[in-house]
Amino acid sequence: MIQLSVNVNKIAVLRNSRGGRDPDPVEYARVALAAGCHGITVHPRPDQRHIRVDDVQRIAGVLGSAEYNIEGNPFAAPRGDHPGLLELVRATRPAQVTFVPDGDGQVTSDHGFDPVRDEARLAPCITAFKRLGCRVSVFVDAGVSGLERLAAIGADRIEIYTGPFAHAHAHAHAIGDDTLALDACVATARAARAAGLGVNAGHDLSQRNLVRLIAAVPWLDEVSIGHALFAEALLDGLGSTVRNYLAILDTAD
């Protein structure tokens, strides 16, 4: 069974845009877990633009038997009260850590590590995180080569960056279809499997495109979904929320 890890970063973005503590990503993690998701993902960046250090620690306390996946750049230096990815992981001991080569200038993750170019510097990082008992996944582009090098230096999984596939799927009417982008995901998943790596997928996945992806790669271990999931939840839940407000106002009659 493919596991669903719900990324609650977007809730923190909404909270931070106003200040204060609402909406609290911890409460949304609770709701997602109660609904049956298999884990929670957070991506705390050093600039703390969304998930903050205290969020990471508080969410760890509500997971129960669900998996915690902490994403981040292992090469990002500590800043302010952000202690760096390794220390966050040391304090919370998630089931999985996902290495993502993000930077302050990126609105969102938009590329993965290169197994050939980055092998030497990733190797000691993988060792350090695995010593903390974490499964290590490395974010990679669909179509990348050299996945066997990640296996050789101790990585457990890859996460395929599915942004280009999602874009192609959404714009298939303009560009023909999404076959090339999907084929790149499938080829990468097959290469990872052949190298002995597990396969996760994430970025811009939604109800619209997920069916097509898992039909092509039914052996995925996990998908991490946040942005689209919460956008869909706003639509699906808006009507009932408005009705609740109207019911409250009706009590004034």
Q: What's the number of CA atoms in the CB half-sphere (13 Å) around residue 145?
A: 0
* DSSP helix/strand/coil, 106: coil
Active-site residue, 167 included: no
CB-based burial label for 90 (10 Å; 0-12, 13-18, 19+): middle
Distance CA 65, CA 31 (A): 15
Distance CA 162, CA 111 (A): 10
Given the residues 71, 82, 169, 222, the one annotated as active site: 71
CB-based burial label for 17 (10 Å; 0-12, 13-18, 19+): exposed
Distance CA 23, CA 8 (A): 11
| Gap between the terminal Cα atoms of the chain | 51
For residue 107, the tally of other CB atoms under 10 A from its CB is: 7
Active-site residue, 27 included: no
Given the residues 38, 169, 203, 222, the one annotated as active site: 203
Please, which residues have CB within 8 angstroms of residue 189's CB and are 6 or more apart in sequence?
Answer: 160, 199, 201, 217, 219, 220
Given the residues 38, 43, 82, 169, the one annotated as active site: 43
**Which strand (E) or helix (H) includes residue 201?**
strand 198-202
Residues serving a catalytic function are: 43, 71, 203
